[in-house]
Amino acid sequence: MVDVFIMGKRYTVPETLTILDSMEYAGYQMTRGCGCRAGFCGACATVYRMAGGYELLVGLACQTKVEDGMYLAQIPFFPGRKAQFDLEEIKPSVAHFAQLYPEVYRCLGCSSCNKVCPQDIDVMQYIAYIQRGDFEKAADLSFDCLMCGLCVSRCPANIVHYNAALTARRLYSRYIANPDRFLAERAQAIENGELDAEIDKLVKADKDKLQELYNNREIEK
């Protein structure tokens, strides 16, 4: 058993628990700040420090194990500026991107974003791709981003990596990627009402039927 402090109050919890589990063990009902519980949604970003230490540490509560003397506090999200733009009025160019996220070009190459990323994404590299205007590679490398914001918490240049990456993926999808013929045909079929009966059947299906359909769905190789 170890002692942790949640919102300033001490609790004794098993050392095998994650931060998220320890908070529930202590009696907290998690209705916010938690989601998939498997490191895939990025909702449970947590700030903590160790007793006697001054450094603020961060992690996902579903992945990080408790340690004796942890002082814990969850936040709803890491504040990060999000540029406002009309996708039809910008182009996939360095000049346009620099107007949206000029801080991207202040990257110091310190690799702090890489070290803190819970997905082990090469964040610094996709920022480098953005700097060079290679939005295809930036989109591909940042695809698994959870948008948890932990990279922002460690960046000395105040880069909002996840929002910059999201913009890069949107630019790639709109202007660079080859149009998907099947997707366009499917969207048109939905607009024409050709799939109304199938959609209605799914809406009315119970949970067991939906799980069966999902588990036996056809997956393209």
| Average pLDDT score over residue span 22-27 | 90
- Average pLDDT over the chain reads 89
Q: Which residues of 47-79 are buried (b: 16+ CB within 10 A; e: fewer)?
A: bbbeeeeeeebbbbbbebebeeebbbebeeebe
Give residue 40's pLDDT: 76
Write the pLDDT tens digit of every residue in 128-178. 999 999 999 999 999 999 888 889 888 999 999 999 999 999 999 999 998
Question: Do the beta carbons of residue 138 and residue 179 sit within 8 Å?
Answer: no
Give residue 54's pLDDT: 79
| Average pLDDT score over residue span 68-81 | 78
| Average pLDDT score over residue span 189-194 | 93
Question: Do the beta carbons of residue 87 and residue 167 sit within 8 Å?
Answer: no
pLDDT value at 31 more than 90 = no
H runs (alpha helix) in 101-206: 112-116, 123-132, 135-141, 150-154, 161-171, 181-191, 196-204
Question: At the top level of CATH, which class does the domain 87-176 belong to?
Answer: mainly alpha
| Average pLDDT score over residue span 34-60 | 82
Give residue 78's pLDDT: 66
15-24, 49-58, 80-89, 204-213: range with lowest mean pLDDT:
49-58
Instruction: CATH number for 2-74: choose from 3.40.50.150, 3.40.50.720, 1.10.3720.10, 3.10.20.740.
Output: 3.10.20.740
Give residue 125's pLDDT: 97
Beta strands at 45-50 and 2-6: parallel, antiparallel or unpaired: unpaired
Return the sign of the alpha-carbon dihedral for residues 65, 70, 73, 77.
negative
Delimit the domains of the chain by residue range. Answer: 2-74, 87-176, 181-215
Percentage of the residues of the chain whose pLDDT score is greater than 90: 57
pTM of the model: 0.71
Question: Do the beta carbons of residue 105 and residue 142 sit within 8 Å?
Answer: no
CA atoms within 13 A on the CB side of 37: 9
* Cα–Cα nearest to 127, from 117, 115, 137, 116: 137
pLDDT value at 73 more than 80 = no
| Average pLDDT score over residue span 187-199 | 92
Helix axes 123-132, 161-171, angle to 10 degrees: 50
Model confidence at 39, in pLDDT bands (50, 70, 90)?
confident
pLDDT value at 221 more than 70 = no
Beta-sheet strand order (sheet of 70-74) = 9-13, 2-6, 70-74, 45-50, 57-60
pLDDT value at 74 more than 80 = no
